[in-house]
Amino acid sequence: MVGTRRDIVLGGLALFGVASVPKPAFAAASSYFDGTAIDNGVTFKRTNFARIDKRWHRQVVKYFSSEPIGTVVVDTRHHFLYLIMENKTAIRYGVGVGREGFKWFGRATIDRKSLWPRWTPPPEMRKRHPELPEFVEGGSAKNPLGPRAMYLLRDGVDTGYRFHGTLEPGSIGKDASSGCIRMFNEDAIDLYQRCPVGTAVQVLPHIADQAEGAAQVSAAAPIE
């Protein structure tokens, strides 16, 4: 195991935060999209990956860890999510993470998954942003969860956090959410397909910070 097993620490007021309010600087950047695609009968904007720094592109990397194959590990400092695979490799995804005051770390489990989920802003978020609607239907162009949501629970209790898509591709690689882990919509679809219910998740400030000796250091490098 990389690091010690710790309880999830919820940051600031993000006890049940799901996503941050879309920021016009990101949402209005039409260059981040390129055409449309259809998924389960829903048309959505495709990410323009030519506009995205290659470091955030999904890729297979070398990865050394004592975590079991199939575990998801999030390095929040460097904005990467790793799905551990065979032969000391992992699929690495660029992600957006919680902004200051909304960060959290610890272990959880993907205990529920949803296609084109409805988004219901939690009460705490609506207090901060009373202009938000009571809910946004799944598949809506204004739904910040995008095409997929994977719900993170601990001991059967909902943490309030999810892995999900985004309306703001420009926020990937940044501290931008209210605690949830944002992904490009295409990456959220990919991870959803690969992670069954019960998948173990570990969210860390930084992978190397949790190492307890050289044998346990997790490291990743692109496979050419």
* Residue 192 phi, psi dihedral angles, 5° rounding: -55, -40
Q: Which of 67, 97, 107 is nearest to 211 (CA)?
A: 67
Q: One-letter amino acid identity for 140?
A: S
Known active-site residue 195: no
Of 111, 202, 91, nearest in space to 160 by CA: 111
Main-chain phi, psi angles of 22, to 5 degrees: -55, 135
User: Which residue in the list 57, 180, 195, 206 is annotated as catalytic?
Assistant: 180
| Whole-number Å distance between alpha carbons of 220 and 89 | 8
- Length in residues, the chain: 224
Whether 102 contacts 13, CB under 8 Å: yes
Are 8 and 76 in contact by the 8 Å Cβ rule? The answer is no
Considering the candidates 57, 164, 195, 206, report the single residue annotated as catalytic: 164
For 121, phi then psi, to 5°, come to -60, 130
164 is known as an active-site residue: yes
Q: Which two tokens stand for residue 60?
A: 């297979």
Which residues carry out catalysis? Answer: 164, 180
